Structure 1
Amino acid sequence: MVNNQLELEVKSFLEGQSDFANLPSSEITRLSQVIRKKKIRQGQWIFDQEDEFEYVFLMKEGHVKLFSMNLEGDMTSVSYIVPQMVFPLRGILQGRKYCYNAVAMCTSEVYILPIKEMRKIIVHHYAFTMAFMRRMEHRLHRSEKLLEKTTCSSAAQRVRQVLDYLNEDYAQTHGTVKKVPFKIFLKDLAVLSATTSETAGSVIKAMKEEKKVLYNNKIISFI
């Protein structure tokens, strides 16, 4: 009974996705039988950079941070996964190892699909593949939009522009403010802005004094 309920839940989720919905019903049924669901605690790692690329994840609830590190252990990139997203996308066609670390930012739920199954449907189902490419194109557009906001020579201005990006892409309305629904650490804001944590912190302090943002318990709210 539990397995049947999970299969129905997974089928409903897949049918609600613009790309998976293009699969034949028989294929959706088959996938619902191989997909697992997992609840992940806040702070729990989902996979490590350089782990074998064995699974792709579909975000059901919660938020996940993806980030990469260089050989010196410094964080070089960071991005955020919200419900309905598929991750990771980089390497999904033929990558052998994950290019990122993934950690849950709150109690989250994901569906886990073996990468061999994902690659199989990409190869054999044209309509799905075209729709999945549109998903990837949308993510690329978001990445380009962030890149455009970090070309300014002023580090402080880059931080402000990245905050604008976070407001546009992630913030949700709560009464009279818009709030990013997950924690943004100063070191993450610094990486996104290609600057230092000290500069990111000073910009946040200035914007608080300008009554443009609130920053409590690592949660950013836009006034």
Structure 2
Amino acid sequence: MYYTQNCNHQSSCLRIVPVFQGLDHEELATIQSVTNSSCYKKGDYIFREGEHSDSLFVVHEGLIKLSKLNEEGKEQIIRLLFPGDFFGQFALLQNSNHYANAEALEQTTICSIEKAAFLDTLGKNPTMALHFINALNNRLFLADEWMSLLSLMEVEKRLARVILLFFEKVEVRNNEFMLPIPKKDLASLIGTTPETLSRKLLSFAEQEIIAVKQRRVIQVLNLDTLKDLAGL
């Protein structure tokens, strides 16, 4: 289901994305004039694999899951997108269809920027173009790093990396945060089974690195050890 109520967050959407920093007032106004904001409920799809769109999407509020289904119909989570992240750029730049599903995991606000105006502004603004190239390069680096993480690193290191990611991205109070996805999705994200994930979480808790509380609440007890486990 798609839910496209306008939410009027165009201006604040642009401000939270590094790509658009450095634009002058006229350039920002041009982008803002072709930016639309839409609200999605949990479980709604922004787009599905194989669909086409002519927009760049920005997460303003909420959480997005990018995923694909393998030949057996099993879901593989590719990436989680947090406020400030942009997506849909490959379909936009290559004039191709989306390679994955984009699903809202909670009440989410998305801003979409029309292709023609975006590319026109990009062409006229070398600073913005450089920011965009750097952002794409960083995205490719993170994708390569994640593939290496899944193929070469042990489950403990993958899990430690993801806990640190959530610790950075979601609301944290007293070193506590709620896992933004169910444990079965977390297992998919790090390329393991739910049973193995539960054992590793228990092991982390027994080592007093984290505490696992009710309703998916994690408390980080030893951040330095967690970083060591993650190889950081």
User: Shorter chain as normaliser: what TM range?
Assistant: 0.7 to 0.9
Cα-to-partner distance string for 1:93-119 (whole Å, 9 max, x where unaligned): 114211111111111111121233333
Matched, 1:199 2:211: no
Cα-to-partner distance string for 1:150-205 (whole Å, 9 max, x where unaligned): 3447xxx32x2122112322215321x2425512432x333333333332233234
Q: Any stretches of 5+ residues in structure 1 without a counterpart?
A: none
Residue 181 of structure 2 corresponds to which residue in structure 1? 183
The TM-score normalised by the length of structure 2 is: 0.76
Deviation of 1:13 (Å): 4.0
Is the 8 Å Cα contact of residues 53 and 97 (structure 1) preserved in structure 2?
Answer: yes
Residue 83 of structure 1 corresponds to which residue in structure 2? 83
CA distance in 2, matches of 1:95, 1:215: 46
Q: Any stretches of 5+ residues in structure 2 without a counterpart?
A: 1-6, 222-232
CA distance in 2, matches of 1:174, 1:189: 21
Matches of residues 43-192 of structure 1 in structure 2 within 5 Å? 43-152=43-152, 157-158=154-155, 160-172=156-168, 173-175=172-174, 177-179=175-177, 182-186=180-184, 188-192=185-189
Cα-to-partner distance string for 1:39-83 (whole Å, 9 max, x where unaligned): 211222211111112322111111111111223322234211111
Q: Which amino acid aligns with 1:214?
A: V
> Taking structure 1 as reference, are residues 64 and 216 closer, same or farther at Cα in structure 2, changes over 3 Å only?
farther
CA distance in 1, matches of 2:217, 2:88: 24
Q: Which amino acid aligns with 2:166?
A: Y
CA distance in 1, matches of 2:190, 2:206: 21
Q: Which amino acid aligns with 1:198?
A: E
Is the 8 Å Cα contact of residues 90 and 96 (structure 2) preserved in structure 1?
Answer: no
Cα-to-partner distance string for 1:6-61 (whole Å, 9 max, x where unaligned): 4xx53354245332133342232122222111121122221111111232211111
RMSD: 2.7
Is the 8 Å Cα contact of residues 178 and 215 (structure 2) preserved in structure 1?
Answer: no
